[in-house]
Amino acid sequence: MDKLRANLIRPVLVPLPELFVERLRSIVPPERFDGVLGSFSAPQAVGFRINRLKGSEDAALDELRSVGLSPEAVSPVPGAFAVPAEQRPQLLNSEPASRDAIYIQNVSSQLPPLILDPQPGERVLDLCAAPGSKTRQLACLMQDEGEIVAVEKVRKRFYKLKANVARQGSTIVRPVLGSGTAYWHREPEAFDRVMVDAPCSTEGRFRTDDPETTRYWSRRKIKEMQAKQRRLLFAGIQALKPGGTLVYSTCTFAPEENEAVLHKALRTFGDAVELVDARLDDLVGDAAQPGLLGWNDRVFNPHVSKARRVLPDGTFEAFFVACFTKHESTMRS
């Protein structure tokens, strides 16, 4: 009977869209393709980090271990930990999770704030902030000193962002309900650092055991996302002080939403901005691949190779991260 019950609850696997697989084969290095394809159905480690605004790292880890969980540091990613996939329910229901001493967040999602590297006392703009995962991480990295303006356009997601930040105990986050593409008009060139974790086609979160993850994917969706991403990156650059740093990230493979968006920004702003090394190789090793220099007969600015596409491997989800430095004002752009 137990075996029959297990068969009844086993998820039905659905194939990934053929067009997606075809595109993926042209994006991922041949020697990595089978592993990446298999990651969409393989168990995923559950990443999390410690909320240092509510206690020490050692205390939280000791508490998790005391109830039978086996957290391991994801070296060398600072502050990142993971437990095996089968421990996810227990981790979610643990006492540290219930009081917000830990926060469940895939390790790849933790990379953009680490690359942005905000410092205590700075002003930081998070243009696409909900549900607040990276906003909260930024506050921890800043030791809750300075100011984070966290912008979210969708009202329901905005209130989720507010609640998430409030539970963490941060005092430096100022949630703003409004359009990320327009906020720079209110505070042009006013921020030391800007995070643009853009909405995307979420290809990195496709799962063969969850048909909802691929239901709305299409070329049209990619094009729609690209238009939004260009506007958001433009807005982020306009809000950034000369001398400041901006990180652009997505959780998708699509070059149209990644390298092509960077190419457009470089063409628009010229020498006022520079793409610099995203510095991911030391954090994720060979899971990081340089940005593509072309796609579908289109040639990109060679500097887009400084961006990094993180390939999924059971611990890391697929992600794309790029880092800009702003050299001079862009108010005429």
pLDDT per position as a tens digit, 205-261: 999 999 999 999 999 999 999 999 999 999 999 999 999 999 999 999 999 999 999
Contact 74, 107 (CB under 8 A): yes
pLDDT higher than 50, residue 144: yes
251 is catalytic: yes
Task: State how far the Cα of 57 lies from the Cα of 74, in Å rounded to an integer.
Answer: 14
User: What one-character DSSP code corresponds to residue 312?
Assistant: P
Contact 306, 322 (CB under 8 A): yes
Q: In which band, very low, low, confident or very high, does the pLDDT at 2 lie, cut at 50, 70 and 90?
A: very low
> Rounded mean pLDDT of 36-62?
96
Which tens digits make up the pLDDT trace of 272-294?
999 999 999 999 998 999 999 99
pLDDT of the residue at 332: 80
Question: In residues, how long is the chain?
Answer: 333
pLDDT higher than 80, residue 62: yes
Q: In which band, very low, low, confident or very high, does the pLDDT at 57 lie, cut at 50, 70 and 90?
A: very high
User: Percent of the chain at pLDDT above 90?
Assistant: 93
Contact 132, 108 (CB under 8 A): no
- Between residues 48 and 3, the one the model is more confident about: 48
Which tens digits make up the pLDDT trace of 158-203?
999 999 999 999 999 999 999 999 999 999 999 999 999 999 999 9
Q: Determine if the pTM surpasses 0.85.
A: yes
pLDDT higher than 50, residue 8: no
Nearest of 227, 235, 176 to residue 200 by alpha carbon: 227
pLDDT of the residue at 11: 55
Chain-wide mean pLDDT for the chain?
95
pLDDT of the residue at 333: 56
CATH class of the domain whose range is 45-105: alpha beta
pLDDT of the residue at 250: 98
In the 3-class helix/strand/coil scheme, how is 31-54 assigned residue by residue? Answer: HHHHHHHHHCCCCCCEEEEECHHH
Contact 29, 289 (CB under 8 A): yes
Which CATH number is associated with domain 107-326?
3.40.50.150
The domain ranges of the chain are 45-105, 107-326
Selected catalytic residue, list 140, 200, 251, 323:
251
Q: Which residues contact 106 (CB under 8 A, 6 or more apart)?
A: 44, 47, 316, 317
